[in-house]
Amino acid sequence: MKVKLILPALAEAESPFWRPIKYSLFPPLGLATLAAYISPEDEIDLQDQHVEELNLDDEPDLVLIQVYITNAYRAYRIADHYREKGAYVLLGGLHVTSLPEEAAAHADTIFIGPGEDTFPRFLEDYRNKRPQKVYTSTIRTLEKLPPVRRDLIKRYKYLVPNSIVVSRGCPHHCDFCYKDAFFEGGRSFYTQVVDDALSEIDRLPGRHLYFLDDHLLGNERFASALFEEMKGMGRVFQGAATIDSILRGDLIEKAATAGLRSVFVGFETFSPQNLKQSNKKQNLERDYVSAVNRLHDLGIMINGSFVFGLDDDDVDVFKRTVDWGVRNGITTSTYHILTPYPGTRLYREMDQQGRILTRNWDLYDTRNVVYQTTRLSAEELKDGYNWAYRSFYSWSNIAKASLRHESIHHQLKHFAYTGGWKKFEPMWNFMIKTGGLNKMLPLLEAILSEVKSPGRAERSFTPAIP
């Protein structure tokens, strides 16, 4: 049997803001994970449209397409194309779970929720010629997960081929989170067995790892055991954590000892009212600056995430947010325009209030305003979002943020990482087009090398709200 697995490119691929490097970071790990359930006797082709041109002239028997909200229309066109050719088409992913009736019109079978329990069931049913129209995930476990089919991944096309996921979901339930609905009907957060996670790490060459988990520190017992076993491996890795997990106990110190060098942190907003509106309870009454200082003392770089357009935001929120990031030495900032994804509590509330302005899913990319705003006009929100990116990543602010660190090593590391990420687009494009992107990995590993802050005997903490 010929099986084709496809990750269609997001709509942003045709946008003037398209950054090829951003979408050449990680391979489609979810599809490679499901491929492990397919018989080794079958012929498998995994294609990622972000890094390669899709071959639509082939004749697969079975086609599985991963659908996100901003690749949904493209995914449906590809699905329709293969169904016309006689292939059996499967659709799964976040958007399919959010809008199953919409997706079902373009598929022979759809998957609701995670696929680790439903995809093997489908394969058995398909071979027995009795496949179902809908498979809904109810069993949530990562035990006895077969090894990811990394042999299907074209490693040389990605800057970070050593991506890994050791958990699913998140223990928190923010109202705007796209993934919360994906895990309805069962456990919303669960991890691998530590030994299985370590086995997967051992399969990955080189030093660098990127944990794509939504919250790597979400299960303290699991994370503590994992970091303890990783000590001495010589790995450097990146991942995501919350303010609460960074401030609580000594788990972040264990992570740093194991090799954590960069962490994605969802600060999102400085407004307590906005945090309450978003149900982001884990950030309430937390000192953001204390968390930042703790990470800097451990030599961990910070990718801060911030959301604009929550109901308490005013025209000054953009400057306040950028100034805070520069003043506190945030390495990189990711800004988002609030986006009410289908399936979220935020979407349901805005829909009931008549605030949803468009259901053109291509615009749901956190760069466009798709809802009726309150204190900000749509134009002010869009312009402020664009200004925030330009301002934070100006050379002057990169230099100012770098100098907020105490050691020269950390200052240089910050300047090189931030400048390299945002200011050398032609170089990244050249490396992508010539197939040499993966050759930049040693440079990334060097920048992520350990740096220790001398620390401060006394800290004068500034308030979390600027």
**In the prediction, which pLDDT does 415 show?**
94
Q: How many degrees, rounded to 5, is the angle at CA 347 between CA 346 and CA 352?
A: 100
Give the separation between CA 202 and CA 206, rounded to whole angstroms.
10
Residue 179 contacts residue 214 (beta carbons within 8 Å): yes
pLDDT in tens, the chain (466 residues): 999 999 999 988 766 566 778 888 999 999 999 999 999 999 999 999 999 999 999 999 999 999 999 999 999 999 999 999 999 999 999 999 999 999 999 999 999 999 999 999 999 999 999 999 999 998 888 988 899 999 999 999 999 999 999 998 877 666 767 777 777 777 778 899 999 999 999 999 999 999 999 999 999 999 999 999 999 899 999 999 999 999 999 999 999 999 999 999 989 887 656 655 655 555 544 688 999 999 999 999 999 999 999 988 999 999 999 999 999 999 999 999 999 999 998 999 999 999 999 999 999 999 999 999 999 999 999 999 999 999 999 999 999 999 999 889 999 999 999 998 888 888 888 888 788 888 888 888 888 887 665 544 333 333 333 3
Domains defined along the chain, listed by start: 2-136 (3.40.50.280), 159-447 (3.20.20.70)
Structure tokens that stand for 421 in this block: 């990420």
Closest alpha carbon to 388 in 315, 448, 447: 315
Burial 408-427 (b: 16+ CB within 10 A, else e): eebbebbbebbebbbeeeee
**In the prediction, which pLDDT does 279 show?**
53
Residue labelled with tokens 């990605």: 158
Dihedral (CA of 397, 399, 400, 401) sign: positive
Q: What is the pTM of this model?
A: 0.91
Residue spans of alpha helices (H) in 28-104: 29-35, 72-84, 94-98, 100-104
DSSP letters of 119-151? Answer: HHHHHHHHHTT---SEEE------TTPPPP-GG
Give the separation between CA 219 and CA 292, rounded to whole angstroms.
21
Cα 419 to the center of its chain, rounded Å: 21
**In the prediction, which pLDDT does 424 show?**
85
Residue labelled with tokens 């359930």: 37
